[in-house]
Structure 1
């Protein structure tokens, strides 16, 4: 099933949702260099709380769309080595830069020069990845390739059970964070 919006209307909606998303990033303080860096210093858990909430709400929304026949999964191969290396590079970059790609764009929208400089670095990194892709495909991506799989197939647990576990972990994390803030 396709969405009932296409063409110019879809572009206008995409721009409006983009601005709304950027505004929400700013309101949630996750487009702030200090907030992101302090997450990694274990001094400000705003990013963790926002991300866990977004994963839960977004995941349940996607599950509802799939169950309603309005969307379908597009599962990529589980290339364990490539994902581990890519995640490590992304994490190191986020710690050094103080932004992820989405928050960098939001910070640029508010005039951050260092976010713009880092964004140029992201573009250059993307070009470097594209140029080195043949070597990466043969020497990294093909290593520890598990094929197309999802957590339900890997664990034997249903989507709803996994979301229930994640929700419980999120609630426990939120409670622990709030308790530690009160005692600090």
Structure 2
């Protein structure tokens, strides 16, 4: 039994590594590992980042739900909250605004040899993780449990089958990306 489990975990890790390398390749080829591209996104003058990430969300959302439907993967969700969403958004937003990279793009930028991403990004992620871990007990008891959501997933929240929600979300994101492509804001 343990040999089979170990074999499956090894395959999962290898697939995860390969998919991660592929995603990093797509980020780099899409231009979103460039500091200038990200800054222009923040200034709302270049929507490359939204286009690449929106496409990644569509592919990932459909892929995850397809693999789950086929029984290839099993995952669990946890209940979120308004407090955890606010803390997560603040940490991500402050880091993104200060550095000009998000965690995914900083990894891609490090991979292409950008020293600012290595020093500022990797070191910043480690320091930020350490600070969050240090204050986690206080944050967890006072903030993360504020207004816990009534459902773990959007389909559960709106009482619709998962595939209907996946298709509707994919169409909405694709429509928004098409709008960005055809209209200059």
Give the drift of 1:44. Answer: 1.2
Q: Is the 8 A contact 2:155 2:161 kept in 1?
A: yes
Q: Please show how residues 1-184 of structure 1 align to structure 2 within 5 Å.
A: 6-7=9-10, 14-118=16-120, 119-146=122-149, 149-181=152-184
Give the drift of 1:10. Answer: 6.1
Q: Distance in 2 between matches of 1:108 and 1:18?
A: 14
Q: Which moved more, 1:82-91 or 1:118-127?
A: 82-91
Q: Which moved more, 1:15-24 or 1:166-175?
A: 15-24
Over 3 Å counting, the alpha-carbon distance change for 1:18 and 1:166 in structure 2 is closer
Gaps of 5+ in 1: none
Aligned length: 181
**Tell me, what secondary structure is at the counterpart of 2:73?**
coil
Q: Which moved more, 1:123-132 or 1:67-76?
A: 67-76
Over 3 Å counting, the alpha-carbon distance change for 1:59 and 1:14 in structure 2 is closer
Over 3 Å counting, the alpha-carbon distance change for 1:13 and 1:142 in structure 2 is closer
**Tell me, what secondary structure is at the counterpart of 1:74?**
coil
Q: Distance in 2 between matches of 1:40 and 1:46?
A: 11
Q: Distance in 2 between matches of 1:69 and 1:54?
A: 22
